[in-house]
Amino acid sequence: MDVAIYARLSQEDTASRTGEATATQRQIADCQARAVREGWRVAAIYEDPDISASDLSRKRPEFERLLADLGDGVHVDAILCYKLDRLLRHPKETERLLDLADARGISIVSLSDPGIDLTTPTGRFMFRTFISMAKAETETMSLRIRRKAREIAGTGRPNGGGIRSFGLTADRLRVVPEEAILVREAADRILAGESVHSIVVDWLGRGVRTPAGRKWEASSLKRMLIAPRIVGDRSHHGLVVGTGVIPALLARDTWDRVRAVLSARNGPAGARVVRRHVLTGLAVCGRCYAKLVARPDARGVTRYCCMAVRGCGGLVVAAKYLEPLVVEALMQRLDSPAFRAALEARAGRNGTNVDLAGLRGDEDALAEASEDYYVRRTLPKPEYQRVREALERRIEAARRKLAAASSTAGLARVTGMDVRSEWERRPVAWRHELAALFVARVIVNPAPRRGTRFDPKRVDVEWRDIA
């Protein structure tokens, strides 16, 4: 008789079972020994290590190859496995295998579950029963694991395994000082008006890497800054279930403000666009007032152009002339005593007080209302919609206030700074953000005639009012 050996082992099996026979190689060795004793010929071996048979969304490559080979008519009299739950653990796949067994006259031999004869109704019933029991065992084990995870999370203790959190040691119980300083620095810079992108550019230039050794991206840095573990909270499936064990890297009120500011920047009204040129989004065409776009010409020289698709398409100016002119005008304005006095007065005012505790309470109330409506089914839909709309309005208003506060803080960071020296060593994203704090727009008017040298009088800078 020709047999095909199938062996499988999933990670959860490794964690929950003991004994040599759980290893796929051991399963195969035991099946081969049985084949030798019976005089069977092993036609093929299929092995799926570290793959669950319970999750149908994740395909088992070797199991699928086994079914495909059987469907294509590869001659096999029986499938030999160490145990039936190594072969199957889901009733849906049971029927697929039974259909093939009927069509090809194939039987199944299990070293641990003898007496299964698929040619008889009793054998097929026993086969289905074994697989249903295996499915129930899997669900029970999964429930125990989830309950244990919730229990651990409820104590505030971190879960084991995985990549460590930035700023914390691998056990998440101690602070990594140099990384904690970077976390607090990033929070301060966000509240001072900088974008996540500019911080990422700066960190990459300084060689700062994620705990996995990868380069930071804006998305990963933002996730890190808004994660509850930053303030020592332990979350489970998105809900905070414990606190006080994981060391906090930020003060809670600082974290609340950072989350609110980053949230306010999302969407059409608050989204931050990555700028690669200092005056992108600030320079406009003096003919049609469309925003100029930075593009290289055939020689690779960057020019600010009015594009026909957005504007009149009739204006071009070289960046090497325009940018230094505007930057020098900005530096002279910042050096002005009157401007410095207005800047310090604006930075010293705090007219954007936000009730952070109230904001946090509204966010918690919204989450609770959603739980009552979607999960517990205790809140009627009209009542849920009314509560949600009222809470969302208050939350949005508070976040907008915090976004405004970050703009004021952005002005404050310029006070006392040597902007000229900082300008040369900072990345383009930082320069653009600083210019946008003070420049409303740069109007570039047409040249009097083609071929003339650049005339600085073509450029008008409109300044923001910071009084």
Domain ranges of the chain: 2-151, 177-270, 283-463
Q: What are phi and psi of 439, to 5 degrees?
A: -100, 120
- Joined together, the tokens standing for residue 174 give 């101690």
Strand partners, 305: 293, 316
CA 95 to chain centre: 39
Among 350, 352, 354, which Cα is nearest to 362's? 354
Among 193, 462, 192, 466, which Cα is nearest to 338's? 466
Measure the CA–CA gap between 22 and 50, rounded to whole angstroms.
11
Architecture of the domain delimited by 177-270: Alpha-Beta Complex (3.90)
Strand partners, 60: none
CATH code linked to domain 2-151: 3.40.50.1390
pLDDT tens digits, 136-192:
665 565 556 555 555 544 544 555 556 788 999 887 788 999 999 999 999 988 887
- Those residues of the chain that have pLDDT short of 50 are 12-21, 152-153, 155-156, 236-239, 241-242, 267-272, 350-351
Among 64, 104, 111, which Cα is nearest to 85's? 111
* Total residue length of the chain: 467
Q: What pLDDT score does 31 carry?
A: 94
Q: What single letter denotes the amino acid at residue 181? A: I
Q: How far is CA 162 from each of CA 14, 170, 174, 188, 332, rounded to the nearest angstrom?
A: 17, 9, 16, 28, 52
- Joined together, the tokens standing for residue 41 give 């010929």
Q: What pLDDT score does 237 carry?
A: 46
Q: How far is CA 140 from each of CA 106, 136, 145, rounded to the nearest angstrom?
A: 32, 6, 9
CA 435 to chain centre: 30
pLDDT tens digits, 106-122:
888 888 877 666 667 77
Q: What are phi and psi of 97, to 5 degrees?
A: -70, -40
- Joined together, the tokens standing for residue 252 give 């809670």
Measure the CA–CA gap between 170 and 274, rounded to whole angstroms.
33
Q: What pLDDT score does 238 carry?
A: 45
Q: What pLDDT score does 142 carry?
A: 55
Measure the CA–CA gap between 326 and 329, rounded to whole angstroms.
5
> Which stretches does DSSP call E strand in 22-106?
41-49, 78-81
